[in-house]
Amino acid sequence: MFLPLSISVSGQQILIVGGGKVALNKVRRLKRFVNNFKVIAPEIAEELKNMEGVVCIERKYSHKDLSDHLLVYAATNNHKLNHQIQADAKRYRCLVNVVDDPGYSDFVSPAIYQMGEMTVAVGSNGKNVDASILLRDKIKAFLQHN
């Protein structure tokens, strides 16, 4: 089970291991709330390299990269490595989202609609992201027309 929480990210740097399509999409959405990221991967998407607030390091992951990060996204295309990152994170007291294995994640992200200080966040306990997006879009349309 996942507990819906709102976590303070003031002064935090978010670590993303992997710099491909999924990493880029995660950073784009997270940018609504945070503007301090470190991306580590041998190959990093050009768009990520050009983003303000994103420090890019072009090399393979090492467990030491986890140091001083509360939130980590294991977003490589290597399933085994993504699991290893989650296991390493126990020692460093980080929370990890494993992008290809919700059941192995410490946290998952809801589908969000923001209106100023108000946030609508829809989740499916990590089970059905399409249903979360659909319900978020319905709520958004309702709120925009009422």
Ligand X SMILES: NC(=O)c1ccc[n+]([C@@H]2O[C@H](COP(=O)([O-])OP(=O)(O)OC[C@H]3O[C@@H](n4cnc5c(N)ncnc54)[C@H](O)[C@@H]3O)[C@@H](O)[C@H]2O)c1
Ligand Y SMILES: C[C@@]1(CC(=O)O)C2=NC(=C\c3[nH]c(c(CCC(=O)O)c3CC(=O)O)Cc3[nH]c(c(CC(=O)O)c3CCC(=O)O)/C=C3\N/C(=C\2)[C@@H](CCC(=O)O)[C@]3(C)CC(=O)O)/[C@H]1CCC(=O)O
Among 129, 135, 139, 140, binds ligand Y (CB under 6 A): 129
- Cβ at position 24, least distance to ligand X in Å: 7
Among 29, 49, 63, 138, binds ligand Y (CB under 6 A): 29
Q: Which of 20, 59, 54, 50 lies closest to 37 in space, CA to CA?
A: 54
Q: CB neighbours of 89 closer than 8 A, spacing ≥ 6? A: 66, 72, 95, 96, 106
Residue 18 or residue 110: which is nearer to ligand X going by CB? 18
Instruction: Write out the DSSP string of 40-91.
Output: E-SS--HHHHTSTTEEEE-S---GGGGTT-SEEEE--S-HHHHHHHHHHHHH
Among 20, 109, 135, 139, binds ligand Y (CB under 6 A): 109
Paired residues of 66 in beta bridges: none
Chain positions contacting ligand X, by CB under 6 A: 17-23, 40-44, 60-61, 75-78, 81, 99-100
Does 132 help bind ligand Y (rule: CB under 6 A)? yes
Does 126 help bind ligand Y (rule: CB under 6 A)? yes
Among 9, 120, 133, 139, binds ligand Y (CB under 6 A): 133
